[in-house]
Each structure stands twice: as C-alpha cells, then as structure tokens.
Amino acid sequence: MDKLHKKINYQFKDLNLLKQALTHRSVGKINNERLEFLGDSILGAVVARELYIRFPNIGEGRLSRFKSYIVRGHTLGLVAVDIGLADLLILGEGELKSGGHNRKSIQADAIEAILGAIFLESGLDAVNGVILTLFKKYIDELNPTDILKDFKTQLQEKLQKFNQTLPQYQLIKTTGKDHNASFTVRCLLTDQKLQVEQEAKNIKRAEQMCAEVLLGRLKL
C-alpha cells in the first residue's frame, strides 16, 4: 500500500477504509459500492469547480462536455493505470477467474471509492488536492477552442456519414438496488455486424461506454 500512498500523495490513517475502497461487491456485503457512490459525486463537484475557474469565458454546454470527458470511465481507467491499481483490487472468486483485475469499469469504480474514502477520513480539502493531482494532466490537455462531442454523438454522425443504420441501445440487465444499482447496456450496429455490452452506474454512462468501444471497432 505504500506505493499507492505515494502515487496518490495521500496517507490513509485507517487502512481498513482503504481496503474497503478496493473491495469489489463480488467479495460480499462489505464492499466499495457506497464509497464509489460518494466519490463519484465528489469527483464531479471538484472537476466542475476547477473547470469553472480555469475557463471563465466558455459556456455551460462546453463546460459540461469538458466535465464529462474528465470524469468518464475511460479517463478513470487511465488514472487507475497511472497509479498501478489493478493488482491491489480485492475481488471475489468469480471475478478473479474472469480477469476482473483488468476490467476498466471495476478499476474506475475503485478510483471513485478511494476518493470517497479520502473525503470521509480527511474532508473536502484533502480529496480536492488528490483529485487535482491525479487528473491534472488530463485537465491540462483540455483546449477551450475544442468542441468535444460525446461518444454517442460521434458514433451517430459517423454512421450517418456512410448512410449506415443508427445504433440500437438496449438495457439488458440491472443488478443491485437504489444508489447501488448497476446497469448493463447492449449496443448493436446492424450494418457493421458489431455488438458490445458495457456496465455502469447509470444507463447514460453505459451507453456512452458502448459507443466509445464501437468507435474504435468501426470499419469505415
């Protein structure tokens, strides 16, 4: 855990809290889902405030797209790689056998859970500093002149350009209850004969994750 502490520039006083943040729901009742819920909200608020300060001359719409770009699952997965999180995840037997350590959604949830744990232990100022350190290079890459489009929009526009059938999104599974629910969405591209499934804490995020994967697989 010492390497992790150095990577995130934060020293946990309660190692059991850190352990919980790293524990996937496949292990049992004591897991990181509630911490992930908390961390997700805090991450969004901290990033929103930073973007508001950094870019005083751009409107709400572009700020929202910038925020979505930073807090998306893909970026969280990159942060997880940056700090070497995969090998520290605590998974149930089924997830271990299926290679859960390498699942980006599990890594992304653990990042948010760690942020939630830091907030609980040390408050907003501490977690604010950690977030701005971990996400600095990704925020620094933002260009106020860029017009970021979400992945669903990009996918739709690319398919339209080549007169192909638009994506079909379908919610195929819901697990958990209330704020701990997870949603699995399937996206089908008929003309491309491509289909993917992605899991996230809300349906819109799962759809965006599907679109992101399919953009990388298009043969156009």
CA distance 159 to 192: 10
Q: Is the dihedral of CA 138, 139, 141, 147 positive or negative?
A: positive
pLDDT band, residue 2 (cuts 50/70/90): confident
Is 82 annotated as catalytic?
no
> pLDDT tens for residues 123-177?
999 999 999 999 999 999 998 876 667 889 889 999 999 999 999 999 999 988 7
- The residue annotated as part of the active site, out of 50, 112, 199, 212, is 112
Question: What's the DSSP call for residue 23?
Answer: B
Per the structure block, which two tokens stand in for 175?
């697990």
Residue-range domains of the chain with CATH: 2-140 (1.10.1520.10), 151-215 (3.30.160.20)
State the CB neighbour count (10 A cutoff) for residue 44: 15
Residues 6 or more apart whose Cβ sits within 8 Å of residue 124? 42
Q: What does the pLDDT read at residue 128?
A: 97
pTM of the model: 0.74
Q: Is the pLDDT of residue 7 over 70?
A: yes
Is 112 annotated as catalytic?
yes
pLDDT band, residue 118 (cuts 50/70/90): very high
pLDDT band, residue 107 (cuts 50/70/90): very high
- The residue annotated as part of the active site, out of 40, 109, 199, 207, is 40
Q: Which residue has the tokens 């770009």?
A: 69
pLDDT > 70 fraction of the chain, expressed in percent and rounded: 99
CA distance 199 to 69: 18
